Amino acid sequence: MSKMVEVKDIQFEYKNNTEENNEEQSTLAINDVTVTVEPGEFVVVIGHNGSGKSTLAKHMNALLLPTKGDVLVKGLNTKDEENIWEIRQNAGMVFQNPDNQLVATIVEEDVAFGPENLGVEPKEIHRRVEEALNIVDMLEYRGKAPHLLSGGQKQRIAIAGVIAMRPNCIIFDEPTAMLDPSGRKEVINTIKKLNKEENITIVHITHFMEEAVDADRVIVMEQGEIVLQGKPKEVFSKVESLKKLGLDVPQMTDLANELIKEGINLPQDILTVDEMVMKLCQLK
């Protein structure tokens, strides 16, 4: 089976003109990054603003093309224009602001928009819309106006619109950044469900550390480079390294670290409240 996404030694430069002398300057946003995403994998990419994580995400959907190196989606090179249509069918994308992704005045029409553009026949579109809304637990809202929904519900509709196009992979570019805690929880539960129950490959870009604890792999970016990666327990146990990068760790990991400093015998890789309760109860 081919890799879902292969990023091979890429660089990416943003070009910008300076007002003073109208000279073009470039900013290196991605610097020699190589990473592979396997089919069915749940990968979370973290890093503070300007680390390059969103730029990397946009390369996986061919929204950006590398200045150097190659990006392959299911073996298709994003630099080949003939591949773009198929790449975007294989790798869908969900962005920060759900309002910018909704195009219709009725929920089910919005979800149908993508398949209609793919030329899917009406009966199949109807089936896909119902299936997609069911997956994100929004079927009862099919006749509602999107602007009347909460932020979390709007984002779930945006996700349903991508699901209806039947991608093998969905890239989420900080999809919870503009949501309240309730909306964030709705969306994260939906993302986990897509991965575990629908076997869709997930690449999730976020700056909320708690959203990474259930991932198969966490990638940490800094100044356009991958500086750390591994399973969540491996990455988040490096508390001091992450804090030097200006990043937080999950609350329970931080608490465990502080308790260890006070001499309490706890492992450094605690990620969740349940794990913390269990370990504390095991102390003599």
Class level of CATH domain 5-233: alpha beta
Q: What is the pLDDT of residue 284?
A: 67
One-letter amino acid at 17 equals N
What's the confidence (pLDDT) of residue 161? 94
Walk along the chain (284 residues) in steps of 10 and give the mean pLDDT of each run. 90 77 78 96 93 94 95 96 92 91 93 91 94 94 94 94 94 92 92 94 93 95 95 92 89 89 89 90 82
Residues recorded for the chain:
284
Return d(Cα 34, Cα 9) in angstroms, integer: 5
CA nearest neighbour of 78 among 210, 269, 88: 88
For the chain, what is the largest distance between any 2 Cα atoms, rounded to a whole number of angstroms? 70
Question: What is the structure's pLDDT at 232?
Answer: 94
Predicted TM-score (pTM) of the model is: 0.90
Return the bridge partners of 92, or none. 170
Distance CA 217, CA 239 (A): 17
Boundaries of every domain in the chain: 5-233
Given this model, what pLDDT does residue 130 score? Answer: 95
Q: If you search the block for the tokens 């959907």, which residue do you land on?
A: 61
Q: For 190, how many CA atoms within 13 A lie in the half-sphere containing its CB?
A: 29
Burial 143-154 (b: 16+ CB within 10 A, else e): ebebeebebbbb
Amino acid present at 85: W
* Structure tokens belonging to residue 72: 């392959």
Rounded to an integer, what distance in angstroms lies between the CA atom of residue 210 and that of residue 275?
14
> What is the per-residue pLDDT for 1?
56
